[in-house]
Structure 1
Amino acid sequence: MDYNSKLSTQIRDLPRSGIRDFFELVIGRSDVISLGVGEPDKPTPWPIREAAIRSLEKGQTSYTSNLGLESLRVAISGYVENQFRVSYDPKKEILVTVGVSEALDIAFRALLNPGDEVIYHEPCYVSYAPSIKMAYGVPVVVETREENEFALMAADVEKAITPRTKIIALNFPTNPTGGIMPREELEKIAALAIKHDLIVFTDEIYCELLYDNRQHLSIAELPGMKERTVLLHGFSKAFAMTGWRLGYACAPAPLIEAMMKVHQYCMLCAPIMSQMAGLEALKMGASAYEDMRQSYEQRRNVIVSRLNGMGLHCFNPGGAFYVFPEIRSTGLTSKEFAIGLLEKKSVAVVPGTAFGAAGEGFVRCCYATAPELIVKAMDLMEEYVNEVRK
């Protein structure tokens, strides 16, 4: 049977995740120091785990409302108002999802018609373009540049807008660069969204992980933007809850209703045990992640200093837990550098091209790993850099 002829062309033509393809090379190797996997190196805080255990002991194993537990939505409403200074009605404007990935997917599916264009920035997390394509939209890439610390420039966005543009998708702080958005550029992008009557998706998954006393600003906070913004957030990064698969979307009621229609047929609801854990996480608030955030800031300082010291230029990222050093001075491509480093020094980083063509010449290093392993990995990387430059 010709299975290719049976597949959806939308799926058949999608590339596999560049991150996962690379880490197929790592599986089964116990000698590798990984600076590649984008998740916290600590387990979920105990009070959050304990809340899930208690829910199981009480036999709380049922479905919940499609929108999610009302108590969790109320807690999300309070958390978002405190974090982003925007108020959402927990009964109509909040949807609990199976991770932010599901929230992003169903938001695209709920809003896009075939041929609608979505402007997004690269380098970026690997799922944006595939999610747009699976919803029959057209991805429109705007590249961010190191000289702007990988912030998205409003002038570049404006050049990309056409009569088919429907959505601008933002993710700041950004995976893989750690870049953040200056207020002035965010305000200009908000003005463009209003002028052209566009919807904005803003993925805020790393917003708690900011450094150097920075304060996060969401585009949803800006005047005239709440009514045209889908705010996406979750528990994976700040609360070290990657495996719990719990996220949420906040948006005007008509948009949440449309997203809920997709959600109820493909997922029904997020697992109740995860939702109970999420409720405890929001009760803990910053106490659940502040020590970890401070530790990340110290690790960032170490890894940035070491990378620049070995001649791999790296800007000091303002958020998330990634650095994106430039490796062009070695004469290698991003993939060649990453494969060579893995094969010769047993250190795993991700080629920048996994995050789009704009990532060529860079690699992503995740510093959410033990400080002593970061030091060891930098020692080995410096050896490798010196060897390839000879």
Structure 2
Amino acid sequence: MAGKGGASTTSPVRRALSARASRIRGGEESAFLQLIRLAEGRPEVITLGRGEPDIPTPGHIVDAAKRALDEGFTTYTNPAGLPALREAIADKFERDSAITYDPASEIIVTTGAQESIAVVMQTLLDPGDEVLIASPFYMAYEANIVLAGGEVVGVSTRLEDDFQITAPAIEERITDRTKLLALVSPNNPSAAVLYPDTIEAIAAVAERYDLVVLWDELYEKVVYDGFEQLNIASLPGMRERTIVVNGFSKAYSMTGFRVGYMAGPADYIRAALEPRHSLTISSPTPFQHAALAALTGPHDFLVEMMQEYTKRRDLMAAAFDEIGVTYSLPKGAFYFWANIGDVGMSSFDFCKRGVVDQAILFFPGSMFGEEWDQYIRISFLAPLDQLAEALERFKALYRSCREGA
């Protein structure tokens, strides 16, 4: 685009964009932003796209944040986080995973789990280092790996394996530049969980090739059918080569609070603390108090939450079965990774049709890896009555597109 005299109207700042930033998929306006823009200002659109719980934050957590504000807790904390919160996180690891971490030297509270991911990439990767990650993968992983100078190496998963990443598939992609293995379980977007025998086999590969493991368990409490998550750091020999990332957004409906954490060997945590401090200094203090209340307060709501999510999951599965959409039943998280390859168009165009024609919003598989253009990520984060209406609209959309293919 040119201005007067044919000069470019691109700003000097835009022309100075780094090669790393330019490599992040999405171009000038990502598929995500385009679809969000299409839905803006249309109250009739039912959103089944973003991974944000619609269940309200439990009252005792909100009250703790209010109380912290009223009591004047509005200044920075230690960059590693409130000591009491780190102690509660250490207790949680001991209770849930039988892993012992020193709260003073092996845990950092971060501004959301996503900041933890950024810190890990910035502190571990040198230019050209490779990170193995299950494909499909959450796009923030790609962005943070690329911005740190690393290379994303997707490890393909398959429907017949319930989209679990496997040890043999990992081993096939290892090179002399591989430094880090990122494991996300339950997974976004595929909703896969890693089974204990799979985790044990992957741990053996990590030890054999001396890989560092990032274990992302942000969705650990959102699991179905009695499944219990095994933390890879609890296995023999894995604690010292694993960085665990977690947070409060998904289990406690605290996405806007921006509190996460990371745990690992003391010598690594010490090295990561200053880079983390340079990013956001400390997580918001009142919300650290809220996170402390989340860990130490009642947890009855988690049972109720999972009962509600299970009803929604089963409703969506029944709708997909009715029209012949192929999927792997979610074992965790709150998404379906569904195959729409027979609609005769790209996943992005199908999603656009969803917003424009049927007033439902969900996201294309191509956002999570270019080879996944036959898939969509669609969440069930809406009350049952709204979800039922959205699924009727989806069935009409799917049938219409397939008939026109």
Equivalent residue letter for 1:93: E
For 1:318, the equivalent position in structure 2 comes to: 331
User: What is the CA–CA distance in structure 2 between the aligned matches of 1:86 and 1:358, rounded to whole Å?
Assistant: 37
User: What is the CA–CA distance in structure 1 between the aligned matches of 2:321 and 2:162, rounded to whole Å?
Assistant: 15
Judge which range, 44-53 or 328-337, deviates more: 328-337
Q: Unpaired segments of 5 or more residues in structure 2?
A: 1-10
Q: Does residue 7 in structure 1 map to residue 20 in structure 2?
A: no
Q: Does residue 68 in structure 1 map to residue 102 in structure 2?
A: no
1:127 is paired with a residue whose SS is helix
User: What is the CA–CA distance in structure 1 between the aligned matches of 2:34 and 2:101, rounded to whole Å?
Assistant: 39
Question: Taking structure 1 as the reference length, what is the TM-score of the superposition?
Answer: 0.97
Equivalent residue letter for 1:10: R
Q: Is 2:31–2:348's contact at 8 Å kept on the other side of the alignment? A: no
Relative distance call for 1:18 and 1:73 in structure 2 (3 A) is farther
Q: Is 1:324–1:362's contact at 8 Å kept on the other side of the alignment? A: yes
Equivalent residue letter for 1:76: I
Q: Does residue 274 in structure 1 map to residue 279 in structure 2?
A: no
2:165 is paired with a residue whose SS is coil
Structure 1 residue 138: Cα displacement: 1.4
Equivalent residue letter for 1:159: E
Q: Does residue 49 in structure 1 map to residue 62 in structure 2?
A: yes
| Corresponding residue to 1:331 among 335, 344, 348 | 344
1:316 is paired with a residue whose SS is coil
For 1:186, the equivalent position in structure 2 comes to: 199
Equivalent residue letter for 1:309: E
Structure 1 residue 42: Cα displacement: 1.9
For 2:375, the equivalent position in structure 1 comes to: 362
- The aligned runs of 1:341-356 (5 Å cut-off) are 341-356=354-369
For 1:218, the equivalent position in structure 2 comes to: 231
| Corresponding residue to 2:258 among 206, 229, 245 | 245
For 2:113, the equivalent position in structure 1 comes to: 100
Q: Is 2:131–2:152's contact at 8 Å kept on the other side of the alignment? A: yes
Q: Is 1:18–1:126's contact at 8 Å kept on the other side of the alignment? A: no
For 2:208, the equivalent position in structure 1 comes to: 195
Moved runs in structure 1, 4+ residues, more than 3 A?
Answer: 1-5
Equivalent residue letter for 1:30: P
| Corresponding residue to 1:236 among 249, 272, 290 | 249
Equivalent residue letter for 1:13: R
User: What is the CA–CA distance in structure 2 between the aligned matches of 1:318 and 1:243, rounded to whole Å?
Assistant: 25
User: What is the CA–CA distance in structure 1 between the aligned matches of 2:74 and 2:360, rounded to whole Å?
Assistant: 41
Structure 1 residue 192: Cα displacement: 0.8
Q: Is 2:23–2:146's contact at 8 Å kept on the other side of the alignment? A: no
For 1:287, the equivalent position in structure 2 comes to: 300
CA offsets 1:258-306 (integer angstroms, 9 cap, x no match): 2111011121111111100000000125324221111101110110111
2:286 is paired with a residue whose SS is helix
Structure 1 residue 4: Cα displacement: 4.1
User: What is the CA–CA distance in structure 2 between the aligned matches of 1:74 and 1:247, rounded to whole Å?
Assistant: 14
Q: Is 2:79–2:281's contact at 8 Å kept on the other side of the alignment? A: yes
Q: Unpaired segments of 5 or more residues in structure 1?
A: none
For 1:134, the equivalent position in structure 2 comes to: 147
For 1:168, the equivalent position in structure 2 comes to: 181
| Root mean square deviation of aligned Cα | 1.3
Q: Is 2:49–2:363's contact at 8 Å kept on the other side of the alignment? A: yes
Structure 1 residue 257: Cα displacement: 1.2
Structure 1 residue 346: Cα displacement: 0.6
User: What is the CA–CA distance in structure 1 between the aligned matches of 2:333 and 2:288, rounded to whole Å?
Assistant: 24
2:338 is paired with a residue whose SS is coil
Judge which range, 64-73 or 129-138, deviates more: 129-138
Q: Does residue 109 in structure 1 map to residue 122 in structure 2?
A: yes
User: What is the CA–CA distance in structure 1 between the aligned matches of 2:37 and 2:52, rounded to whole Å?
Assistant: 17
User: What is the CA–CA distance in structure 1 between the aligned matches of 2:31 and 2:342, rounded to whole Å?
Assistant: 23
Q: Count residues with an aligned counterpart.
A: 390
Structure 1 residue 388: Cα displacement: 2.0
Structure 1 residue 2: Cα displacement: 4.0
